[in-house]
Amino acid sequence: MGENRERLEALRERCLQCRECALGQTRKNVVFGVGNPEAEILFVGEGPGANEDEQGEPFVGKAGKLLDDMLAIIGLDRTMVYITNIVKCRPPQNRDPLNVEQDACIGYLRQQTQILQPKILVCLGRIAAMRLMNPKFRITKEHGQFYDLGTMRAMALYHPSALLRDPSKRPESFDDLKSLQAEINRICDHTRAELRGIKL
Ligand code: URA
């Protein structure tokens, strides 16, 4: 087993026991994250919904299907990237995760990031962008723009759920995906064949 895979697995084991905030009392499953332990691209959403809570996997509902389509537009699939959320347990009624819940959980994402050392961070929606890039982040103005964040290049896409609610945003999101593809081609090393060879 590769070193990243082992370290992620050890972190997942700890995360599954977590009771650091109240979401730990209502969750069915911890949704730690999935993907390629050698991924150079990290996607971060806000938190699990009902389907994710049932299955213990991020983005498995309608929004997840759209995320798969978005990845496919730029020649990627789930086995080539890593996908997780700001909070690992479902907020009741799908409300936004509270700051206190994000604070309790953010250490897991920090450690995931330390292990993966991604080159590109993609925030899915406003909550992730505000937490990871800038508390004043305005998704309607700043989606698709790249920023330097430590050693990473970071950008935000509209959340797939926002694109389901408001399909008029889809053309802009398509342009954002094309910018993401260009940045991936510019700075990522792994060939797609290589990443496919590193099985989930
Ligand atoms: N929305 C998110 O932000 N994350 C998921 O995992 C599912 C829906």
Q: What pLDDT shows up at residue 95?
A: 96
d(CA 181, CA 158): 16
Provide the pLDDT for residue 193: 78
CB 176 less than 6 A from any atom of ligand 1: no
**Rounded-to-10 torsion of CA 151, 157, 160, 161:** 110
Q: How far is the CA of 199 from the centre of ligand 1 (A)?
A: 23
pLDDT at position 1 is 56
Q: Report CA(195)–ligand 1 centroid distance (Å).
A: 24
Q: What is the pLDDT of residue 153?
A: 98
Q: What's the 124 CA to ligand 1 centre distance in angstroms?
A: 9
For residues 32 and 88, the answer to whether their CB atoms sit within 8 Å is yes
The residue whose CA has the least distance to atom 7 of ligand 1 is: 59
Mutate to test the pocket of ligand 1, among 29, 44, 46 (most ligand atoms within 8 A of CB): 46
pLDDT of residue 194: 84
What is the predicted pLDDT for the residue at 38?
96
Q: Which residues of the chain have pLDDT under 50?
A: none
- Is residue 58 in contact with ligand 1, taking CB distance under 6 Å? yes
Per-residue pLDDT reduced to its tens digit, 51-69:
999 999 999 999 999 999 9
Whether the CB-CB separation of 85 and 105 falls below 8 Å is answered with: no
Best CA proximity match to 40, nearest among 92, 4, 94: 4
Does the beta carbon of 63 sit less than 6 angstroms from any atom of ligand 1?
Answer: yes
| Number of residues that make up the chain | 200
Residue 100: partners with Cβ closer than 8 Å, 6 or more residues away: 21
What pLDDT shows up at residue 136? Answer: 98
Q: For 123-148, write each residue's pLDDT tens digit.
A: 999 999 999 999 999 999 999 999 99
Report how far apart, in Å, the C-alpha atoms of 147 and of each of 5, 13, 86, 98, 153 are: 28, 33, 19, 25, 6
For the question of whether the overall pTM of this predicted structure is more than 0.95, the answer is: yes
Say yes or no: CB of residue 49 within 6 Å of ligand 1. Answer: yes
